[in-house]
Amino acid sequence: MSDPLVRLENVRFAYGERTILRDISLSIPRGKVVAIMGGSGCGKTTLLRLIGGQEKAVGGQVRVDGQDVATLGRDALYAMRRRMGMLFQFGALFTDMTVFDNVAFPLREHTELPAELINDLVLMKLHAVGLRGAARLMPGELSGGMARRVALARTIALDPMLLMYDEPFTGLDPISLGVIGQLIRRLNDALGASSVIVTHDIQESLQIVDYIYFISEGRVVAEGTPDEIRHTTDPFVHQFVHAEVDGPVPFHYPSDDYAAALTGGKA
Amino acid sequence: MGGLRKLGSVAIEVVWQLGFIARFFWLILVYSGQSFTRLNLTIRELYFSGVLSLLIILVSGLFVGLVLGLQGYEILQRYGSSDSMGTMVALSLLRELGPVVAGLLFASRAGSAVTAEIGLMKVTEQLKAMDMMAVSPIARVVAPRFWGGVISMPLLAAMFSTMGIFGGWLIGVVFIGIDDGAFWSQMQAAVDFRYDVLNGVIKSCAFGVAVSLIAVFQGYDCVPTAEGVSRAITRTVVSSALAILALDFVMTSFMFRGL
Ligand SMILES: Nc1ncnc2c1ncn2[C@@H]1O[C@H](COP(=O)(O)OP(=O)(O)O)[C@@H](O)[C@H]1O
Ligand SMILES: [Mg+2]
């Protein structure tokens, strides 16, 4: 196989003083769907922002299609992002535009296509997510699951080579959740793209992805194919799969000594 | 010691903020090409900032003119020169009240709306999403709103002054009975186009740039939470008002020295 589409090598990242990612190495092979799992606040969104070039790694390298993202100038970065699609956690639809105009937005911004062609393309994308009938609605009129599907249609408007999903399953009912999961898999294969899903929904991920990475405390702590993950004895993965409260992932946010804090020590 | 340190940190904060605004202003200018090549974006904002502010500007202008008429007559008749009422009303509006009051109204009506809109777009990650789609939010969202405000402001100030003069005329000529001819001819003789009208227009343009810049900056820079947006809106209104009044003093001291 050719080299992977995305490769992170020993990536380190911090917001100011606070180190979020310590040492992450992973790769997303072409044509595959990869899940990155970890608890809330472990830096999953940050990881996607590093791949998209919205943040720059403090150490290590993020390579997308052979290019080191950190070294790209603004124009090269924008050229690269045109071939990427990112589905934001809450959809991030433009609230002042209709569903149709939202999906048409990337096409109108980046192509010189005539209006009839854009019309056809938008309807095709909306049809792919099953919402052609909602084209004239405003984002405020959509349910959470519908909004996410519209955002998905907008994400694939320019047929990207890399699709990034930030917690696509959060806050959905079981049916919408299954629908989104199937769409992610289908679109990846139909577009010949590669996908990365950032999530903490292990059951859904096990069904649709090709490979899974687990992140904790800024490091990759486990990885494997869904089959390997199901049968692993790794304590971290075990805690995750069985939703245990305490284990390798601590219940407490890092803090001072509890007793000292209660007896009037510096909080 | 603690007070001194606090003062120092506030000073540093202010300088940082000014630096940010200056850099942001530069970015807006760099990315403004799009706002003019794709004029419909700016025209939309002209509608939201300008046209929708029209009513409050016209009504306020009328009231200010009515009050100027009453006060002006009361003062001028002590000196037996109530005929010069037109002059007084026109000069106060064109030089000061038009630009300043219209600017203050514009900041609270349109500036706050722009801050709220951009701030909410930030909260809901619309700006980040746009950036990820390789569309610059400064070019697509900020610059059109900036130019919409800059273009609206002088036009609104002019309409404010026009309504004000009409209000003064209503009081002076229609209600009090000053001679219609004297009202207009004295005004025409006393108001100089370059000295009075043009200087007023320059002021309103400066206020337009200041208010629009503050409004888009506060929205773009806000802390992306509900509380952050509400603070940003407050800051837009307060700092716009301060900026308008301070700029007005500085410009007046250069423009009208009564030499
Ligand atoms: N812009 C930011 N500035 C400072 N800290 C941030 C910022 N964004 C996120 N963080 C912090 O970084 C950590 C990781 O955030 P994130 O990547 O959003 O986590 P996840 O998506 O896994 O829930 C969180 O603890 C969050 O508080
Ligand atoms: Mg997140």
Among A20, A48, A58, the mutation site with the greatest number of ligand 1 atoms within 8 A of its Cβ is A20
Q: Which of A29-33, B31-35, B140-144 has the lowest mean pLDDT?
A: B31-35
**Residue written as token pair 């709306």:** B113
Average pLDDT for residues B196-224, to the nearest whole number?
95
Q: Which residue has the CA at smallest separation from atom 10 of ligand 1?
A: A15
Q: Which of A228-232, B74-78, B120-124, B165-169 has the lowest mean pLDDT?
A: A228-232
CB within 8 Å of chain B, chain A residues 36-65: 52, 54
Tokens of A11: 């990536």
Cα A142 to ligand 1 centre (Å): 28
Report the pLDDT value the prediction gives residue A267, as an integer from 0 to 100.
44
Tokens of A162: 């890399």
Q: What distance in Å separates the CA atoms of residue B23 and residue A10, rounded to the nearest whole number? A: 34
Q: What are the chain A neighbours of B136 within 8 Å (beta carbons)? A: 78
* Residue A196 near residue A164, CB atoms below 8 Å: yes
Cα A43 to ligand 1 centre (Å): 6
Largest CA distance in chain A: 71
Angle at A177 between CA A171 and CA A181, to 5 degrees: 130
Q: Which residue has the CA at smallest separation from atom 7 of ligand 1?
A: A15
Three-class HEC string of B110-166: HHHHHHHHHHHHHHCCHHHHHHHCCCCHHHHHHHHHHHHHHHHHHHHHHHHHHHHHH
Which domains can be identified in chain A, with CATH numbers?
Answer: 6-97+159-179+188-232 (3.40.50.300)
Q: What are the chain B neighbours of A54 within 8 Å (beta carbons)? A: 128, 131-132
Contact A54 B125 (CB under 8 A): no
Report the pLDDT value the prediction gives residue A16, as an integer from 0 to 100.
86
Phi and psi of A11, rounded to 5°? -75, 130
The percent of residues in chain B predicted with pLDDT above 70, rounded, is: 99
**What is the mean pLDDT for each group of 10 consecutive residues in chain A (267 residues)?**
83 89 91 90 90 90 90 90 90 91 92 91 90 89 88 91 90 82 90 90 86 89 87 78 65 72 63
Half-sphere exposure of A9 (CA within 13 A, CB side): 11
Q: What distance in Å separates the CA atoms of residue B203 and residue B207, rounded to the nearest whole number? A: 6
Q: What distance in Å separates the CA atoms of residue A196 and residue A99, rounded to the nearest whole number? A: 25
Q: Which of A177-186, B116-125, B246-255 has the lowest mean pLDDT?
A: A177-186
Tokens of B21: 């605004």
In what order do the strands lie in the sheet containing A18-28?
A: A67-68, A59-64, A6-15, A18-28, A219-224, A211-216, A33-37, A194-199, A162-166, A84-87
Report the pLDDT value the prediction gives residue A265, as an integer from 0 to 100.
53
Report the pLDDT value the prediction gives residue B206, as an integer from 0 to 100.
96
B202 Cβ neighbours under 8 A, 6+ residues apart: B251, B255
Partnered with residue A11 across adjacent β-strands are: A24
Q: Which residue of B has its CA nearest to A80?
A: B134
C-alpha distances in angstroms, B248 versus A88, B62, B185, B253?
Answer: 45, 22, 29, 8
For chain B, domain boundaries: 2-255
Mean pLDDT of chain B: 92
Contact B131 A109 (CB under 8 A): no
Q: What is the DSSP string of B179-191?
A: -HHHHHHHHHHH-
Partnered with residue A119 across adjacent β-strands are: none
**pLDDT digit string (tens) for B78-93?**
998 888 889 999 999 9
Q: What distance in Å separates the CA atoms of residue A105 and residue A113, rounded to the nearest whole number? A: 12
Among A46, A165, A249, the mutation site with the greatest number of ligand 1 atoms within 8 A of its Cβ is A46
B9 Cβ neighbours under 8 A, 6+ residues apart: none
The residues on B that touch A, with CB distances below 8 Å, are 120-121, 124-126, 128-136, 140
DSSP letter (8 states) at residue A66: T
Q: What distance in Å separates the CA atoms of residue A195 and residue A210, rounded to the nearest whole number? A: 10
Q: What distance in Å separates the CA atoms of residue A195 and residue A35, rounded to the nearest whole number? A: 8
Report the pLDDT value the prediction gives residue B161, as an integer from 0 to 100.
96
Q: Provide the 3-class DSSP secondary structure of residue A25.
A: strand
Q: Looking at the complex, does the CB of residue A76 fall below 8 Å from at least one CB of chain B?
A: no
Cα A19 to ligand 1 centre (Å): 10
ipTM of the modeled complex: 0.83
Inter-helix orientation angle B98-106/B226-255, to 10°: 170
Q: Which of A134-143, B202-211, B222-231 has the lowest mean pLDDT?
A: A134-143
